[in-house]
Amino acid sequence: MANKSKTWKRQAAAKAKKRKRDKAATKAKAKTGSSSHAPALAPVRSENESSDRTTPVQFPYSYSRDEEVADISVKAPHVVILGAGASRAACLQGDAQGRKLPVMYDLIDTLEIGPLIPEALRSLDFESAYAAMRSDESLLPACEEVEERIFGYFASLELPPYPNVYDHLVLSLRPKDVIATFNWDPFLIQAIQRAYHVGYQPPRVLFLHGNVKVGFCQEDGVVGVRDVPCSRCGNPLSPSRLLYPIGEKNYQQDPVIWDEWRELSRALKSTYWLTIFGYGAPKSDKGAIDLFREAWGHWEQRQFEQIEIIDIRPEDELADLWDDFIHTHHYEVHRSFYDCSLARHPRRTGEFYRQQYLEARWCDENPLPRELDRLSLWRWLGPLLEAEGPEAMMSFYRKQ
Ligand SMILES: [Zn+2]
């Protein structure tokens, strides 16, 4: 393991250097107006071809943007794991009302719940402080108050009105794909509701720690948006439980949350591309890591899958964190969502994967236009949705 880790670090450092070289080459190409993306296996010009030709070099195996838009041949899911870093990245200036998005280490200050926490624990991060409180019976009423404040704060958050990372993430995936989130905030559902109003069918969404906006009907096993009538019995869907940070989470205790984990496990077994966006995989959440490891299997058996990590932490740290999951040749680290595969090949990462990595074709990009307003963005997506036909209209809620 130690040797593998060292080898990994050397390879990660070499890859980081290569990426810098590639970025410089990409910038140079952009200046001369040529393609901004050079896949590793793209055909190259033979040595006896003239170097002073004036017409562009033709790549017989190229895969154009139009071909990508028309191609919906891949049915396996792209799986995205979301953590608190994704919500913070989506709302750097705060939510629609300017409320800050906390991560675990600044949650106590951001939510101003310090007075509810014993003085001796206030300097700890929320995870450690809460776990300590939970283990002391005399502090259980204070724990409940903390939970109420957290639920209230997250339930009050609203996505800013203009399209942001959440809208773009949701629109870049097809109904066959899966987003599994650890976040309690309602942004994912709000982004889906915004898209849903114009008839768009989003990917499957899974809430691994519960969510303030998710409701369920225990009798019928229906999961949906909180307070919306159950499609079977008509009663409003009850709020789901939030899973709070204690060292040994038992995901199997809550049937709704356990169902979400089982669904994620199935998706991970069949995915070709895993995107981990702003999720820190805290070591204390051993249950989550064990479940991931079990579903993913050993990295040697996942040599053909692609993993990309969107995170602002140093690459070495991320490589160590995900060491058990990553095959050396198939991972990428991006600082921004807009550099990842979903933003460069929206709704077609599977088809792009097949053409680039299996067919060794030169692939054009189809970058998601991040500056467009909602109506213009919807129009831009038109040809992609049209090509998908009935698939784009698949039902969102599996059990409804
Ligand atoms: Zn019901």
Query: Do 109 and 223 fall into the same domain?
Result: no
Query: Do 259 and 304 fall into the same domain?
Result: yes
Within-domain flag for 347 = yes
Distance 260 CA to ligand 1 centre (A): 18
The contacts of residue 39 (CB under 8 Å, 6+ apart) are 356, 360, 361, 362, 363
Within-domain flag for 174 = yes
pLDDT at res. 81: 95
Query: Do 277 and 294 fall into the same domain?
Result: yes
Within-domain flag for 44 = no
Distance 82 CA to ligand 1 centre (A): 29
CATH classification at residue 177: 3.40.50
Tell me the Cα Rg of the chain. Answer: 23
Distance 231 CA to ligand 1 centre (A): 7
Query: Do 174 and 128 fall into the same domain?
Result: no
Cα–Cα distance measured from residue 24 to residue 349, given in angstroms and rounded to the nearest whole number? 24
pLDDT at res. 29: 40
- How far the first Cα of the chain sits from its last, in Å, is 46
Distance 80 CA to ligand 1 centre (A): 29
| 8 and 328 Cβ atoms separated by less than 8 Å | yes
Low-confidence ranges of the chain (pLDDT < 70): 1-60, 198-199, 246-249, 284, 298-300, 303, 327-329, 390-400
Within-domain flag for 306 = yes
Query: Do 184 and 272 fall into the same domain?
Result: yes
Q: What are phi and psi of 306, to 5 degrees?
A: -105, 135
Query: Do 176 and 218 fall into the same domain?
Result: yes
Within-domain flag for 14 = no
pLDDT at res. 281: 78
pLDDT at res. 285: 76
Query: Do 343 and 198 fall into the same domain?
Result: yes
Distance 281 CA to ligand 1 centre (A): 34
Distance 237 CA to ligand 1 centre (A): 7
Q: What are phi and psi of 285, to 5 degrees?
A: -90, 65
Query: Do 175 and 149 fall into the same domain?
Result: no
Distance 189 CA to ligand 1 centre (A): 20
The residue whose two tokens read 């963005």 is 377
Distance 233 CA to ligand 1 centre (A): 4
pTM (predicted TM-score): 0.81
Cα–Cα distance measured from residue 68 to residue 224, given in angstroms and rounded to the nearest whole number? 33
Buried b (16+ CB within 10 A) or exposed e, 165-180: bbbbbbbbbbbbbbbb
Query: Do 139 and 238 fall into the same domain?
Result: no
Last-in-domain residue among 155, 177, 193 = 155
Last-in-domain residue among 116, 133, 155 = 155
Counting Cα atoms < 13 Å in the Cβ hemisphere of 297 gives 12
The contacts of residue 83 (CB under 8 Å, 6+ apart) are 181, 182, 183, 276, 277, 278, 279, 280, 281
> How many domains, in total, are found in the chain?
2
Within-domain flag for 182 = yes
Query: Do 225 and 256 fall into the same domain?
Result: yes
Cα-based distances in Å from 339 to 33, 99, 241, 379? 19, 27, 34, 22
Distance 230 CA to ligand 1 centre (A): 5
Distance 217 CA to ligand 1 centre (A): 5
Distance 394 CA to ligand 1 centre (A): 22
With H, G, I as helix, E, B as strand and everything else as coil, classify residue 99: coil
Within-domain flag for 49 = no
Distance 167 CA to ligand 1 centre (A): 29
Distance 259 CA to ligand 1 centre (A): 17
Q: Where are the beta strands (DSSP E) in the chain?
A: 78-82, 178-181, 204-207, 214-217, 222-225, 238-239, 273-277, 306-310, 331-334
Question: Maximum Cα–Cα distance for the chain, whole Å?
Answer: 82
Query: Do 84 and 116 fall into the same domain?
Result: no
Last-in-domain residue among 112, 131, 155 = 155
Cα–Cα distance measured from residue 398 to residue 77, given in angstroms and rounded to the nearest whole number? 15
Query: Do 236 and 318 fall into the same domain?
Result: yes
With H, G, I as helix, E, B as strand and everything else as coil, classify residue 71: coil
Q: Which residues constitute the domain of residue 328?
A: 69-97+162-393
Within-domain flag for 286 = yes
pLDDT at res. 125: 82
